[in-house]
Amino acid sequence: MIALAGTIGAGKTSLTKLLADHLNSQAFYESVDDNKILPLFYKDPKKYGFLLQIYFLNKRLDEIKDSYSNDLNVLDRSIFEDALLFKLNADMGRATETESNIYSSLLGNMMEELPEQPHQKAPNLLITIRVSFETMLERIKKRGRSFEQIANDPSLYSYYKNLNERYVQWYEDYNESPKMVIDGDKYDFVEDPAAAKKVLAMIDEKLIELNLK
């Protein structure tokens, strides 16, 4: 499968739809609007942080298994990002270091490739969308989920800033599959059809290089 990665508001859902339509493949979206744990997490991160990560882990593994039918199916978030998000929560005191370590170990065990398995768990290509902190905040505000708004919780400002900065190093360290990065500020594929066309052409070029298209 092809997996999208990027901070909150980077445009993963938008690019997932664009790419799946372009490739005539299936899109798999992160469960947010029907996620009953996520609003609870924003209200009490220490209490619900570990539960939320286990929920996402379970959902993402289901998506990976469901996507096996086509190498060009698109997932709107990579399972490998979750450890980054949970480590940040631990560093900010919103989860314990023990919980973070247990989660990272569990993720590693569950993602380990076994010889008898017919399908790999890592994506054929990881596409990371990189946006500035200003763009991130603008898009979070625009999509309007109340529990994500800084106006309702000023502490989210430092959380979002730290998260956006950590994604840069996370991408550099990522080595589970081939990867590429899209500059989401330079190419505003969410609003600009010309930019969307350019981004799709860049991805096509990478897929051809990897013999996936």
Whether residue 11 is annotated as binding a ligand: the answer is yes
Helices marked H in 24-117: 37-43, 45-66, 81-91, 97-111
The partner residues of 182 in beta bridges, in order of sequence, read 129
2-209 domain in CATH 3.40.50.300?
yes
76 is catalytic: yes
Do 74 and 16 touch, CB atoms closer than 8 A? yes
Each residue of 13-55: pLDDT tens digit?
999 999 999 999 999 987 677 788 988 988 888 899 899 889 9
d(CA 199, CA 124): 18
Q: Tell whether 6 is in a known binding site.
A: yes
Q: Does 166 appear as a known binding residue? A: no
- Phi/psi at 5 (5° precision): -140, 160
Quick one: pLDDT at residue 116?
59
Exactly one of 76, 183, 188, 204 is catalytic; name it. 76
pLDDT tens by residue, 114-123: 555 656 778 9
CB atoms within 10 A of CB 193: 9
pTM, two decimals, is 0.87
